[in-house]
Amino acid sequence: MIAYTIRRLLAAVPILIVSSFIIFWVASLSADPIRQRFEGRNPPPPAATIQLERERLNFDAGFFRQYWDWLWNLVVHQDFGPSINSAMNIGSELGRRTVITFRLVILAMVLAVILAVVTGVLSAVRQYSRLDYTFTFLGFLFLAMPSFWLAVVLKQGAIAFNDSVEGNLNRRPIPTINHQASVVPEEFWPRMMDIALHMVLPTISLALITYAALSRFQRSSMLEVLNSDYIRLARAKGLSARRVMVRHALRTALIPLTTVTALGIAAILGGAVVTETVYQWRGMGDLLVTAVVAQDRYVTMGWLLVAGLFVILGNLAADLLYAVLDPRIRYE
Amino acid sequence: MRTGTRRLSGLIALAAATTLAVGACGTDGGSDAGKPSFSEGFAECEAKPNECNSGERKQGGTIVFAVNRGVQNWNQFSGDGNLVETVLILNTVIPSPFIFLPDGKIQQTELITEAKITSESPQTIVYKINPNAKWDDGTPITADDFTMMWKFQNGKDCPKCNVAGTTGFELISSITGADSGKTVTVTYSSPYPDWQGLFALMPAHVGKKAAGGDLNTPAALEKAFNSFTAQPTWSGWAYKIDKVVKDVQVEVVPNPQWYGSTKPTLDRIIFKMITDQKQNVPALQNKEINGFTAQPSSDMVTQVKNLAPGVNYEMTGGAVWEHIDVNVKNKYLADQKLREAIFTAISVQDIIQKTMSFWPGAKMLGSHNLLPGTPGYEDIVKKVAPDQGSGNIEKAKQILTEAGYKDVGTALKTPSGEAVPELRFLYREGIQTRLQTGELVQAALAKLGLKIKIEATANLSDTLDTYNYDLIIFAWSGNPLLSSNKDLWTTGAGNNKLGWGDPESDRILAEMAKTLDSAKQRQLLNQQDEIMTKAAVVLPLFAKPNLLALSSDYINIRDNNQGSYVTYNVENWGQKKAQ
């Protein structure tokens, strides 16, 4: 399995290079960020300033040279290139923000998977019952909801809730922006509580949208397994319903969900862009939005590279988990 | 006392904000007509923009004020650090000798005790620095600080300093200090009328230390200049930076070495970064912030109004003004009569009603050089070309008919019988209000027999630089440093995107740019404006509004659209004392 893992990782390198080249090309077609920054200034900026910026950002080099310099610096010096904000170190910015985003994404994903498994299994076991219809309705509802809309609705709901309890509690318990309070409590537990409360809305928002698709997969997968011969055999052998369900049916039914979950990492990163904007988290999503608006080419490149890496790792993890969940699968 | 707007760097940032501002304003015009532009707490702001929302402060308290963007580069004098948000925050720590008040008037600060012109040829200014003025580490503020700022920004001593602008500084021939550096003599090689808005200081001793003890070589200056991109550990004003949570918030606390007579009462000001303007109102509603400024949309205005009485708001005309320009390089539009007819057919009132209905204070702008409410403003359009912007189709037809145009109202032909081709109306991609304006222009000009094709451009600068338009709508940022208007309208000047020029207009602008008397300067600008208005090349539409929403617990906070921003009087900010 180790050899397989290494092979897969090596195979990812050309994929990343080709995709980075395409993205670099697309980014180079967008408007000139230097011109955009200085547009509308009266008096106009000194020509020397514009030239210094062009040199710093390597914009005077040809397209291929620019790409090669970027790639070379990345591989040899682990330098993601210059941001249009001269004081920004793209590498450390990506590192810092990845931690913030993954705190959100992982928790949302875990919550979404748990919800999906529970509701998917219950729906399958009680197929066509009122419960199944309710879960199905909710699943499609959240699936159809635009993530920004759900985030805004949750936010307004939280504000209304805060309004209703403020008189009694003398505080507004649910925050709606940032990943921490303006004045962070110094003691450990209040601080943890502050972090947890700031995660409530973005996590729910992201989890509900992710859960919707996963629950549908889980339901259909569970139904397929429950109708299979080996489950019938297990029941015929007199195994308890719980043992049949958990040991035999669920374990098999989780395999497709594993794939979908791993692939869902890319989707949830996309969802994080919206969620972070609405809740003003300074994570990867916010970084991408800011970079795209400012035409910050090298930041966009860095973001996509990191996101691409996580998608590849997610896919690899899915493949490896297959082997764990299904002993019949072996990687040579 | 320092109660007005700030400095050149702020003004450059103000201009830089134009692009962002117009981007952020790409929302619907909506409808909220008839509602006032000020809530109860700001009711006096229209009549008394410098004194409204004032009162007695209580000691203590914290304010959380939202800003639109995080700070990456703390050097507001650098090309990429010169952003509105950075200037707004650094107003709390950077000293400057003069500030601009919300009504556009200039006021001396307590950094200096006196500044006067001692000679007009060569222009020589003598500043007397407040003997008590010092940086927060106790180092006196002296001529050295003025000299360092000059060397950074004059374009000669530090050619690799990536400065936001050299205007004004490149005209200074020398700076000398006397009385232990507390008297500063600044001599200009040619007149610079906007000298009061020029200086804002960073500490020379800090720069010197970063440069290894020397500020005399280009390399050392560059090193010192770049060292200021880091978070300031110094202050020369009422507050100092205490804590920065990157991209989340900047916290400032009172500077114990503050030498001004108005002492801060707030324990802490937290500048909270809210990068999506739409999230400001919910954050204010949930009491996570106490105030924000923004270019408002209809929705935002309605939401803020619904927060009353706990939240006060004021909506005032900002420095960004919209206009429609005509490309006189187009051979058909080179004819002044056609341009006059076009401007007459366009109804500015309709455009305002359609795109700015949420702002009852919106009025047609009557000047190309001065903004309403600022000294010297006159409605030049009304004075010399009252039909322009009136939407008077019959009058427009009459202009064309009298000029010999044929088929007026059906398919317009020049006096020589040539069909006037379809004209291209350009607007910046994604800005809905400008598209709506284009549609109104299209409908109005159709009545003259002119076909208009509306096109979006993703790159406004390229479009303007290459004259790749017939009619175009965009915005300029009004600038209290009036001499910069020379760059906008002089034939062939860097920011003249019209292809238009007039020798008399150029002469007046040249004279204006070296006139030291501000009243005379404004008079000259109005003279130039008359020439330009008659030429019918730029139709001013309106100044865009700025919105300040503020929790009613806070006083002495009011908006300032003159380049100093809301923090122009930060030392006065406070929580309202109970009556």
Residues of chain B in contact with residue A38, where contact means CB-CB under 8 angstroms, are 16, 79, 461
Per-residue pLDDT tens for B528-561? Answer: 999 999 999 999 999 988 899 999 999 999 999 8
- Strand, coil or helix: B314: strand
- Helix A251-279 to helix A188-226 angle, to the nearest 10 degrees? 140
Minimal Cβ distance to A40: which of B64, B459, B476: B476
Q: Under an 8 A CB cutoff, do B282 and A155 touch?
A: yes
- Residue A262 CA: distances (Å) to CA of A89, A94, A251, A257, A267: 30, 21, 17, 8, 10
Q: Is the pLDDT of residue A43 over 80?
A: no
Answer whether residue B31 shows pLDDT above 60.
no
Full DSSP string of B137-163: TSPBP-HHHHHHHHHHHSSSS-TT--B
Over 70: is that where the pLDDT of A330 sits?
A: no
Which of A31, A53, A83 has the CB atom closest to B162's CB atom?
A53
Q: CB neighbours (10 Å) of residue B24?
A: 18
Mean pLDDT of A78-98: 92
Which of B160, B287, B474 comes nearest A52 by C-beta?
B160
Please give the single-letter amino acid code of residue A90. I
b/e for A41-69, b at 16 or more Cβ within 10 A?
bbbbbbebbbebbeebbbeeeeeeebbee
Q: Which residues of A touch B160 (CB under 8 A)?
A: 52
The answer to whether residue A119 scores a pLDDT higher than 80 is yes
Q: Do A86 and B80 touch (CB under 8 A)?
A: yes
Q: What number is the average pLDDT over the span A107-114?
A: 93
User: Inter-chain contact B272–A289, Cβ cutoff 8 Å?
Assistant: no
CA of A179: which chain B residue's CA is closest?
B248
Residues of A in contact with B493 (CB under 8 A): none
Closest CA to B265 of B579, B570, B578: B570
Residue of chain B nearest A37, judged by CA positions: B16
What is d(CA B578, CA B575) in angstroms, rounded to the nearest whole number?
9
Token representation of residue B240: 């100092």
Query: Three-class SS of residue B288?
Result: coil
Could you tell me which residues are beta bridge partners of residue B477?
B320
A180, B248: Cβ pair inside 8 Å? yes
Strand positions, DSSP E, B26-81: 57-58, 62-67
Task: List b or e across B438-469, with b for residues whose CB sees 16 or more CB atoms inside 10 angstroms.
Answer: bebbbebbeebbbebebbebebbbebbeeeeb
Query: Side chain identity at B331, as an amino acid letter?
Result: K
Nearest CB to A42; choose among B282, B460, B488 = B488
Chain A CB contacts of B15 below 8 Å: 40-42
Chain B residues inside the 8 Å CB shell of A180: 245, 248
Structure tokens at B308: 């009353």
Sequence-distant (6+) residues with CB within 8 A of B364 are B348, B349, B352, B381, B389, B540, B541, B542
Select from A43, A177, A280 the Cβ nearest to the Cβ of B167: A43
Q: Measure CB to CB from residue A48 to each of B159, B167, B495 and give the nearest one.
A: B159
pLDDT tens digit string along B419-458?
999 999 999 887 888 999 999 999 999 999 999 999 998 7
Identify which of A83, A177, A277 has the shortest CB distance to residue B288.
Answer: A177
How many whole angstroms separate alpha carbon B196 and alpha carbon A222?
76
Mutation choice for B interface testing from A32, A41, A154 by most B CBs within 10 A: A41
Answer yes or no: do B283 and A290 touch at CB < 8 A: no
Record: contact B279-A177, CB cut-off 8 A:
yes
pLDDT tens digits, one per residue of A120-162: 999 999 999 999 999 999 999 998 988 889 999 999 999 999 9
pLDDT of residue B8: 45
pLDDT at B23 over 60: no
For the cut 50, the answer to whether the pLDDT of residue B3 exceeds it is no
Retrieve residue A87's tokens: 């004081």
- CB-CB: which of A44, A46, A289 is closest to B487? A44
State the Cα–Cα distance between residues A30 and B481, nearest whole angstrom: 33
* Token pair 């509900």: residue: A208
Whether residue A39 and residue B159 make contact (CB cut-off 8 A), yes or no, is no
Q: Which DSSP string corresponds to B504-530?
A: HHHHHHHHHTT---HHHHHHHHHHHHH
Q: Do residue B279 and residue A280 have CB atoms under 8 angstroms apart? A: yes
Query: What is the DSSP pairing of strand B538-551 with strand B291-294?
Result: antiparallel
> Hey, are the CB atoms on B286 and A159 less than 8 Å from each other?
yes
Residues of B in Cβ contact (< 8 Å) with A49: 79, 162-164
**CA geometry: angle at A265 spanning A259 and A271, to 5°?**
135
Pairing of strands B554-555, B471-477: unpaired
For the segment B191-208, what is each residue's pLDDT rounded down to a tens digit? 999 999 899 999 999 999
CA atoms of B475 and B470, how far apart (whole Å): 16
Name the minimum distance, in Å, from the CA of B558 to any CA of chain A. Answer: 23
| Alpha helical stretches, state H, B346-449 | 348-355, 380-384, 393-402, 432-446
The verdict on a CB contact (< 8 Å) between B495 and A96 is no
Q: How confident is the model at residue B281 (pLDDT cuts 50, 70, 90)?
A: very high
User: A87 and B81 in contact by Cβ < 8 A?
Assistant: yes
Task: Give the best residue of A28, A39, A284 to mutate against chain B (max B CB count within 10 A).
Answer: A39
State the Cα–Cα distance between residues B546 and B23, nearest whole angstrom: 14
pLDDT digits (tens, 9 = 90+) for B106-149: 899 999 999 999 999 999 999 999 999 999 999 999 999 999 99
Looking at the complex, report in whole angstroms how far the Cα of residue A209 sits from the nearest Cα belonging to chain B.
Answer: 21
**Cβ contact B474:B465 at 8 Å:** no
C-alpha to C-alpha distance for B31 and B222, rounded to whole angstroms: 52
Give the side-chain half-sphere CA count within 13 A for A293: 14
SS3 A292: helix
Q: Report the DSSP beta bridge partners of residue A291.
A: none
Q: Which residues contact A137 (CB under 8 A, 6 or more apart)?
A: none
Q: Are A208 and A271 in contact (CB under 8 A)?
A: no
CB pair distance less than 8 Å for B484 and A42:
yes
**∠ CA A187-A188-A192, rounded to 5°:** 120
Question: Could you give the residue ranges of the DSSP H alpha helices within A170-296?
Answer: 188-226, 229-236, 241-243, 251-279, 284-293
Check if the interface score ipTM surpasses 0.90.
no
Strand order in the sheet with B574-576: B57-58, B574-576, B554-555
Please give the structure tokens belonging to residue B156. 């000669």
Across the A/B interface, how many CB contacts are shorter than 8 Å? 156
Q: Which amino acid type is present at position A285?
A: G
pTM of the model: 0.88
Per CATH, which fold does B324-476+494-500+516-544 belong to?
Answer: Dipeptide-binding Protein; domain 3 (3.10.105)
Band of pLDDT at residue B17, cut at 50, 70 and 90: very low
Q: Which helix (H) or strand (E) holds B343?
A: helix B336-345
Q: How close A230 gets to chain B, by Cα (Å)? A: 54
Contact B477 A49 (CB under 8 A): no
Task: Pick the more confident residue, B371 or B261.
Answer: B261
Residue A40: the pLDDT is 67
Q: Per residue in A166-215, pLDDT tens?
A: 999 989 999 999 999 999 999 999 999 999 999 999 999 999 988 988 99
Residues B275, A37: C-beta atoms closer than 8 Å: no
pLDDT of B461 reads 78
CB A159 within 8 A of CB B289: no
Which of B163, B288, B369, B479 to mutate: most A Cβ within 10 Å?
A: B288
Residues with Cβ within 8 Å of B400's Cβ and at least 6 positions away in sequence, in order, are B337, B338, B341, B408, B412, B448
The partner residue sitting opposite B285, judged by closest CB among A53, A159, A278, is A159
Tokens describing residue A12: 């990812």
Substitution target from B248, B429, B431, B497 for chain A, most A beta carbons within 10 A = B248
Taking CA–CA distances from B170, the nearest residue in chain A reads: A46
For residue B310, the tally of other CB atoms under 10 A from its CB is 11
Residues of A in contact with B70 (CB under 8 A): 282
Nearest to B247 among A56, A277, A282 (CB): A282
Which chain A residues are within 8 Å of B164, Cβ to Cβ? 45, 49
Q: How far is A257 from chain B (nearest CA, A)?
A: 35
Minimal CA separation from B529 to chain A, in Å: 17
B495, A42 Cβ separation under 8 angstroms:
yes
CA distance A166 to chain B (A): 10
Phi, psi of B482 (to 5 degrees): -65, -30
Residues A139 and A216 sit within 8 Å (Cβ to Cβ):
yes
| Residues of A in Cβ contact (< 8 Å) with B165 | 43, 45-46
Degrees to nearest 5, angle at CA B150 with B147 and B155: 140
- B494–A43 CB contact, under 8 Å: yes
pLDDT of B29 higher than 80: no
Nearest CA in chain A to B79: A49
* Chain B residue nearest residue A180, CA to CA: B248
B-chain residues near A155 (CB < 8 A): 282
Burial of B210: CB neighbours in 10 Å, binned 0-12, 13-18, 19+: middle
Task: Give the pLDDT confidence of A236-261 residue by residue, as tens digits.
Answer: 999 998 888 888 898 888 888 887 88
- The answer to whether the CB atoms of B18 and A39 lie below 8 A apart is yes
User: How would DSSP label each residue in B251-265?
Assistant: EEEE-TT--SSS---
Which residues of chain B lie closer than 8 angstroms to A56, CB-CB?
162
**Of A42-51, B180-189, B222-231, the least confident:** A42-51
For B96, the 3-state DSSP assignment is coil
